[in-house]
Amino acid sequence: MKNILVIGATGQIGSELTLELRKRYGDDHVVAGYIPSAMPKGELKASGPSAIADVTDRQSIEVVARQFKIDTIYNLAALLSVVAESRPAMAWKIGIDGLWNVLEVAREYNCAVFTPSSIGSFGEATPHVKTPQDTIQRPRTMYGVTKVTTELLSDYYYTKYGVDTRSVRFPGIISNVTPPGGGTTDYAVDIFYSAVKGEKFVCPVKAGTYMDMMYMPDALNAAISLMEAAPARLKHRNAFNIASMSFDPEQIYQEIKKHMPDFEMAYEIDPLKQAIADSWPDSLDDSCAREEWDWMPQYDLESMTVDMLEKLRAKLNK
């Protein structure tokens, strides 16, 4: 990777990935792609180039690819799971029509492409414990449907046209920088904010609801490490299971209480979030990622909790 475009650079993952890529590859070599309604601010704007790159407008992506001699595209434009259910047409337009535009530009300008998939690409018929790399994927949400289609279309462009497409199936991502924004796993971010603010947390999914989660530093490292991996080692491409921790609400609650004994939690179940969570895996088998590109997470629930509380206390001045 020499010149990188991050589409969706102001989003949940993109805002942090863009800055991490600039640290590794140089500020001038990473373009923050955005849409006019979500312009870069602060460090993201000041630290390097930015340009309009709307996945629904192929020409805007072409302009950036030409101007900055882009060789790698991180396509992070998507609606999150709960939002996608309320806006299915828009979820498809951004997730699939947008991906088509990105892949066509990549084919023309010889770019590698990373478009993340998700644990949402699985469904109720999928084995839920240690979900295999290759298994049935029959999701019943629009979010999941777009993610499965993303995997298939990305593989198609690799086998048909030789476009270097790669992807991971992200679990729920927990960040101390980017606030939650409409995902099923966002309770695992909200709970830390409530704890640090001294508020009682109301959990939208029931006890015993296990989902795979990952701390943002590990997610960023996965996205970068996979794109840096030698192509000859990759037997799979779209998309790799990656995992670092799996827990239910009670486990994360008890972990926080080790540091904040007075913290309280209650349950008020959101039927939509619960239904989506129930259709997702409890845990993933990520052995293929470990074997093919040396994937190795650095954080577990305990170490993540310590870091989240420390960072949020500093951020919120608590």
Q: What percent of the chain has pLDDT over 90?
A: 89
Peptide bond before 239: cis, by omega within 30 degrees of 0?
yes
Same domain? 14 vs 103? yes
Task: Specify the pLDDT at position 82.
Answer: 83
Same domain? 88 vs 237? yes
- pLDDT of residue 189 exceeding 80: yes
Contact in structure between 27 and 48 (CB atoms under 8 Å): yes
Contact in structure between 117 and 74 (CB atoms under 8 Å): no
pLDDT, tens only, 62-106: 999 999 999 999 999 998 888 899 999 999 999 999 999 999 999
Report, as an integer, the average pLDDT of 200-219: 95
Task: Specify the pLDDT at position 75.
Answer: 98
Contacts of 101 (CB under 8 A, 6+ apart): 55, 56, 57, 58, 61
CATH number for the domain spanning 129: value is 3.40.50.720
Same domain? 21 vs 138? yes
109 falls within a domain: yes
pLDDT, tens only, 134-165: 999 999 999 999 999 999 999 999 999 999 99
Task: Specify the pLDDT at position 39.
Answer: 93
Task: Specify the pLDDT at position 12.
Answer: 87
Contact in structure between 47 and 22 (CB atoms under 8 Å): yes
**Given pLDDT bands bounded at 50, 70 and 90, which one contains residue 318?**
low
Task: Specify the pLDDT at position 182.
Answer: 66
291 falls within a domain: no
Same domain? 38 vs 22? yes
Same domain? 194 vs 149? no
Same domain? 192 vs 82? no
Report, as an integer, the average pLDDT of 118-135: 93
Same domain? 68 vs 87? yes
Contacts of 262 (CB under 8 A, 6+ apart): none
Report, as an integer, the average pLDDT of 302-313: 96
214 strand-pairing partners: 173
Chosen domain end from 191, 224, 241: 241
Same domain? 189 vs 122? no
293 falls within a domain: no
pLDDT, tens only, 236-263: 999 999 999 999 999 999 999 999 999 9
Residue 119 has φ and ψ, to the nearest 5°, of -60, -15
User: How many domains are contained in the chain?
Assistant: 2
Report, as an integer, the average pLDDT of 195-199: 95
What range does the domain containing 206 cover?
A: 172-213+245-282+299-316
Same domain? 201 vs 189? yes
Higher pLDDT, 57 or 318: 57
Task: Specify the pLDDT at position 279.
Answer: 86
63 falls within a domain: yes
Same domain? 231 vs 310? no
Same domain? 152 vs 257? no
For residue 75, what are the CA distances in angstroms to 4, 110, 223?
A: 11, 15, 11
290 falls within a domain: no
292 falls within a domain: no
- pLDDT of residue 317 exceeding 90: no
- pLDDT of residue 201 exceeding 70: yes
pLDDT, tens only, 21-45: 999 999 999 999 999 999 999 999 9
How many C-alpha atoms does 276 have within 13 Å on its Cβ side? 27
Out of 143, 158, 215, 253, the active site residue is: 143
- pLDDT of residue 179 exceeding 80: no
236 falls within a domain: yes
CATH number for the domain spanning 257: value is 3.90.25
Same domain? 233 vs 308? no
Contact in structure between 146 and 78 (CB atoms under 8 Å): yes
Task: Specify the pLDDT at position 155.
Answer: 98
Report, as an integer, the average pLDDT of 50-59: 97
Is 74 among the catalytic positions?
Answer: no
288 falls within a domain: no
**Given pLDDT bands bounded at 50, 70 and 90, which one contains residue 280?**
confident
Task: Specify the pLDDT at position 212.
Answer: 92
